[in-house]
Structure 1
Amino acid sequence: MTIHFIAIGGSAMHNLALALAHKGYSITGSDDVIFEPSKSRLEAKGLLPSEFGWFPEKIHNELDAVVLGMHAKADNPELLKAQEIGVKIYSYPEFLYEQSKHKTRVVIGGSHGKTTITSMILHVLNYHDIAVDYMVGAQLDGFDRMVHLTEHNDFIVLEGDEYLSSPIDRRPKFHLYQPNIALLSGIAWDHINVFPTFENYEEQFQIFVDGIVTGGSITYNEEDEAVKRVVEATENTIRKFAYRTPDYHVKDGTTLLDTPEGEMPIEIFGKHNLNNLAGAKWILQQMGVDEEDFYEAISSFKGASKRMEKIAEGPDKVAFKDFAHSPSKVKATTEAVKEQFPKRKLIACLELHTYSSLNAEFLGEYKGALDAADEAVVFFSPKAVKIKQLKEVTTDQIYKALNRKDVTIYTEPEEFKNYLFKRNFDDCALLLMSSGNYGGLDFDQVKQLFK
């Protein structure tokens, strides 16, 4: 098949392009800008466009399909040409479903934890040499790509994102997968630019559960009230498996998980990650992996990229960076680091970077999110607020939202860098939480502070 990608440079899109090229498809693509690591990875496989921009002449009747990325606009010249001549147009999730409609689809959904749970499942399967197709939202150790597609594997494991499918398809991605086996980890309001109320947001998860294939299953976190409400409300004829956080304790900076064979040290930590682990175990049992094999494999799981990633460690100090940006993720991540290192001063730095986090009306959702930190720091760019055409965010609003007056707030990247590089981190744990990079922070330089 010959497939053209409109906006090939996206994190998800370029991985799908690489997967299809590996499968033997002929791939072309366009984009107006492509950043690293997508640029180098596409170039290495001969898929990088020769020049950036949109070229309607790339769309022709010899194409079997076009895959449309979210980065493209509805008036994209290549999209308009495809619509004009009648080339089949797929969104990213539509195409994944097309590739997996004859497989057993395992879909991991939830406002938080879905990348980690999907990564745990794939780690265990890879450890035991069990081959499956997959799509996950983070790069994993031992995996060449974030997407893998074959004709012969029986299962496909999909991270189920609730964000929109494409510029011309406003359905959440995970509505299109029609899972046989599904998991729901948690529901905490996010993406307010698309889902203006919590009720509207929660409704998307109800549609997800109602869309599970008849006779399929939902594995769900019974400690989350919204998840319980959604699962109990469904009239879908499916099996329901509840899970909760397993027993564990922390000793000398190591998390010990209680198992039928006794205490087992694990690499990951934090109540939220232990909860994720329990969900992954249930899913894997439905895929044929028994409990003993699960524990053997999961003990070596170090986490997904950018999720509680240890970037540096000295004799009495440690630094982590985490993708956490929504209120529930920030709270869980901050509490996890404090629990793991109770005797160290926890310095938690949060960048308000997304549309939701920079929305003055949404800020209140962060109440208590940094309570576990001994020292709380917030960085945001007033320029980003203007670019997103949002109302001005003030320092007083942030103080009030977080419900603590001792928060240090930076709005200039250089000031934040100066704070970091002049600080003594002895007997400290540094946590850098952001879906951005604090206006250009070099994390390699941060590592030098912990040697």
Structure 2
Amino acid sequence: MKLHFIAIGGSAMHALAIALKEKGYQITGSDDAIFEPSLSKLRKYNMLPAEWGWFPEKITEDLDAVILGMHAKADNPELLKAQHLGLAVFSYPEFLYEQSKNKTRVVIGGSHGKTTITSMILHVMKYHEKQVDYMVGAALENYSNSVRLTEENDFIVIEGDEYLSSAIDRRPKFHIYQPNIALLSGIAWDHINVFTSYEIYVEQFRIFVDAIVNGGILVYNEEDAEIKNIAEATTNPIRKHPYHTPEYHVEGEHTLLDTPEGELPLEIFGHHNLSNLAGAKWICQHMGIDEDDFYEAIATFKGASKRLEKVAESSSAVIFKDFAHSPSKVKATTAAVKEQFQNRKLIACLELHTYSSLNAEFLEQYEGTLDKADEAFVFYSPEAVKLKKLENISEAQIFSAFKKENLKVYTQPEQLHESLRNLELEHSALLFMSSGNYGGLDFEEVKTWLK
């Protein structure tokens, strides 16, 4: 097949393009800007566009299909040309479904934990040399690409994002996949620029459950009241398997999972990660891995990229960074680090970076999320607020929202970076949480803070 990618530099788009080239397809693409790591990866595979911009002349009648990325707008000149020629135009999830409609589709959904659970499943499969196709939203250790597509593999494991598919396809991505086996980890209102009320957001998960194929399987977190209600109320004729957080305990900064065969030391920690583990175990069992084999493999799982990722460690201090940015994730991640390092001072640094987190009305959702931290920093950029065309946020609003005693709020990157450099990190755990970069903080420099 001959395919053209509009907005090929996207984090998901470039990975799909690489996977399809490895499958033998002819791939071209365009974008108005491409950043790392997409830039280097596309260059490695000789897929980097010769110049930035949109070029309608690239859209020709001999193309089998055009793949439209979320970054491209509805008036994109290449898209308009494709529509004029009557070419098949697919969103990313639509084409992924086309590639997997003859496979057993395992789709991992939920407001939080999707990437970690998907990564756990793939880790277990690789440990036991079980070949599967996949799409995951993060870099994976010992994997060259975050998407793999073959003709021969029976299973595909897909991280099921609830965000919109493209500028001309306003369906949430996970509505399109029609899973044979699905998992829901939990619901916490997110993407408020698209789902303007909690009720609208929850409805997307009901639609997802109803899209599970007839006779399929739903694995769900019964500790989440909203998920439990959806699972119990659906009339879709599917099998349901609830899960809950397994018994575990922390000894000397090590987490031990209680299993039928005794205590199992883990590389991961935190209540939310143990809950993720329980969901992953159910999925792996439905994919043919027995319980003992799951435990053997999961003991070596070190976590997904940017999910409680260890940046640096010394004999008396440790630094983590995490993708957490929504209120539920911030609260869970902060609590996890405090539980694991009970005898250390916990310093939490949160950047408000997403559309939701910079929304003045949404800010109140962050109340109490940093309570487990001994010291807490919140950074946001007034420039980012302007770029997102949101109402201005004052430092007073941040203090009022978090209701955290001794909270420090920064709006200037230089001031934040200087304060962080001057921290006394002896006997402490420093936790960074954001989907941004803290105003250009250099994590190679951060690694030297413990030397």
Short-chain TM bin: over 0.9
Q: Give the secondary structure class of the aligned counterpart of 2:280.
A: helix
| Displacement of 1:403 | 1.5
In the alignment, which residue of structure 2 is the partner of 1:215? 215
Aligned residue in 1 for 2:197: 197
Q: Shift of the alpha carbon at 1:394? A: 1.2
Aligned to 2:269: 269
1:119 counterpart residue number: 119
Pair 1:353-2:353 in alignment:
yes
> Which residue number corresponds to residue 406 of structure 1?
406
| Residues 244-292 of structure 1: CA deviation (Å, up to 9, x unaligned) | 0000000011000001110010000000000000000000000000000
Residue 237 of structure 1 corresponds to which residue in structure 2?
237
Match of 2:106 in 1: 106
Residue correspondence of structure 1 range 65-80 to structure 2 within 5 A:
65-80=65-80
In the aligned structure 2, how far is the partner of 1:226 from the partner of 1:445?
42
Which residue does the alignment assign to 1:309? 309
2:152 is aligned with 1:159:
no
TM-score (normalizing by structure 2): 1.00
Q: 2:295: which partner in 1? A: 295
- 1:45 positional shift: 0.6
Does residue 19 of structure 1 match 2:19? Answer: yes
1:169 aligns with 2:169: yes
Cα distance in structure 2, aligned partners of 1:213 and 1:401: 42
Q: Extract unaligned runs of 5+ from structure 2.
A: none
SS of equivalent residue, structure 2 residue 359: coil
Q: Aligned equivalents of 1:338 and 1:235: distance in 2?
A: 41
- Give me the whole-angstrom Cα distance separating, in 2, the residues matched to 1:397 and 1:240: 43
Aligned-partner Cα distance in 1 for 2:65–2:95:
9
CA distance in 1, matches of 2:405, 2:264: 40
Paired residue secondary structure (2:365): helix
The CA RMSD over aligned residues, in Å, is 0.5
SS state at 2:264 partner: strand
Q: Distance in 1 between matches of 2:377 and 2:319?
A: 15
Aligned counterpart, 1:249: 249
Q: Output the CA distance in 2 between the equivalents of 1:172 and 1:401.
A: 29
For residues 160 and 444 of structure 1, the distance between their equivalents in structure 2, rounded to whole angstroms, comes to 32
Post-superposition CA distance 1:396-435 (Å, at most 9, x none): 2111111224110000000000001112100110000000
Aligned match of 1:35: 35
Measure the CA separation in 1 of the matches of 2:66 and 2:119.
28
The aligned amino acid for 2:89 is I
Q: Could you say which residue in structure 2 is the equivalent of 1:137?
A: 137
Superposed displacement of residue 395, structure 1 = 1.4
Matches of 1:399 and 1:249, distance apart in 2: 34
- The whole-number CA distance in structure 1 between the counterparts of 2:34 and 2:437 is 17
Q: Distance in 1 between matches of 2:54 and 2:265?
A: 52
Match of 1:5 in 2: 5
- How far 1:160 moved relative to its partner? 0.2
Deviation at 1:166, TM superposition (A): 0.3
Q: Does 2:318 match 1:286?
A: no
Equivalent-residue separation in structure 2 for 1:28 and 1:229 (angstroms)? 45
The 5 A counterparts of 1:389-404 are 389-404=389-404
Q: Distance in 2 between matches of 1:68 and 1:399?
A: 41
**Structure 1 position 363, deviation (Å):** 0.4
* 3-state SS, counterpart of residue 213 of structure 1: coil
Residues in 1 aligned to 2:40 and 2:285: alpha-carbon distance in whole angstroms: 38
Which consecutive residues of structure 1, in runs of 5 or more, have no partner in the other structure?
none
- What is the CA distance between 1:450 and its match in structure 2? 1.1
Distance in 1 between residues matched to 2:347 and 2:368, nearest whole Å: 15
Residue 438 of structure 1 corresponds to: 438
Q: Corresponding residue for 1:182?
A: 182
Count of equivalent residues = 451
CA–CA distance in structure 2, aligned partners of residues 380 and 393 of structure 1: 9
Give the 4+ runs in structure 1 shifted more than 6 A.
Answer: none
TM-score, normalised to structure 1, is 1.00
Q: Partner letter of residue 189 of structure 1?
A: W
1:171-190 per-residue CA deviation (whole Å, 9 max, x = no partner) reads: 00000000000000000000
Please name the residue that 1:331 is paired with. Answer: 331
Percent of aligned positions with the same letter in both sequences?
69
Quick one: distance in 2 between partners of 1:205 and 1:235?
14
- Per-residue displacement from partner, 1:105-163 (whole Å, max 9, x unpaired)? 00000000000000000000000000000000011112111000001100000000000
Q: Which amino acid aligns with 2:56?
A: P
Mapped to 1, the partners of 2:299 and 2:401 lie a distance apart of 38
Q: Name the CA distance, whole Å, in 2 between partners of 1:47 and 1:231.
A: 43
Q: What secondary structure sits across from 1:334 in the alignment?
A: helix
Paired residue secondary structure (2:214)? coil
The one-letter code of the counterpart of 2:445 is Q
Counterpart residue identity of residue 61, structure 2: N
